[in-house]
Amino acid sequence: MALMSRHLQSRNQVLRYDRRGYGKSWPHGGPFAVADQVDDLVDLIGDRPVVIFGHSYGGNIALAAAARLGQQVLGVSTFETPLSWMPWWPGSTAGAIGIAGNEADASENFMVRLIGQKRWDQLPDRTKNERRREGPALVGELTSLRLEAPWQPDKITCPVYAGFGSLGLSHHADAARWISTNVSQGTLVEIQGAKHGAPMTHPLECVTSLVSVHLEG
């Protein structure tokens, strides 16, 4: 999110934070369900009107926050947000494979599936250890996401831009289409040449297509 923020912060107030159990929010005892994550986000937002962008799992937090806060949320954008509770969601995703085994191994397995074994092996030991220690948060999040829907589309009344990468996996594109079709003001956005890590590889395109569209009205 840091790269996207650089394209926004000269003219907008940008809030970034580490979810419970990750980065500067480690350690955290949980729980790690979407509703608990929304509690944290609501506390951070206060009474300010906001546009919320969520990447991957964070998109579910953004949508659930919009359902809870109503008109305070001016718009939501997501990028390749998993709909793991859906019966059509595949069982062979990075998340599904990631939560197998113990928590530290689960986190490593998830990262390897996401970035590849070669890139994982090239990471500094400190970074590897930081990712492995985030295992409890990862497993808690992904397990709860498979149990039940964390938000209902009919509760989301703001404009929603649901993004996916043209080079991404088909189930992520299907999820973006589902979101854009089932919320009342949904728009589907395809980021050309992007995979799941688009906020890092295509930050300007993500800002232009998924964030600025809410701010220019």
pTM above threshold 0.75:
yes
Displacement of CA 59 from its chain's centroid (Å): 4
Domains of the chain, residue spans: 2-90+149-215
pLDDT score recorded for residue 98: 57
Which residue, among 17, 3, 159, 166, has the nearest Cα to 78 in the 3D structure? 159
Q: Where are the beta strands (DSSP E) in 80-215?
A: 160-165, 186-191
pLDDT score recorded for residue 97: 62
pLDDT score recorded for residue 95: 66
Q: Is residue 100 packed enough to be buried (19+ CB in 10 Å), middle (13-18) or exposed (0-12)?
A: exposed
Gyration radius of the chain's alpha carbons: 16
The CATH number of the structural domain formed by 2-90+149-215 is 3.40.50.1820
pLDDT score recorded for residue 123: 97
Task: List, in order, residues 6 or more apart from 11 with CB less than 8 Å away.
Answer: none
Q: How confident is the model over 44-69, as pLDDT tens digits?
A: 999 999 999 999 999 999 999 999 99
How far apart, in whole angstroms, are the C-alpha atoms of residue 52 and residue 198?
17
Return per-residue pLDDT of the chain as tens, 217 residues. 999 999 999 999 999 999 999 999 999 999 999 999 999 999 999 999 999 999 999 999 999 999 999 999 999 999 999 999 999 999 877 666 656 668 999 899 888 888 889 999 999 999 999 999 999 999 999 889 999 999 999 999 999 999 999 999 999 999 999 999 999 999 999 999 999 999 999 999 999 999 999 998 6
pLDDT score recorded for residue 113: 80
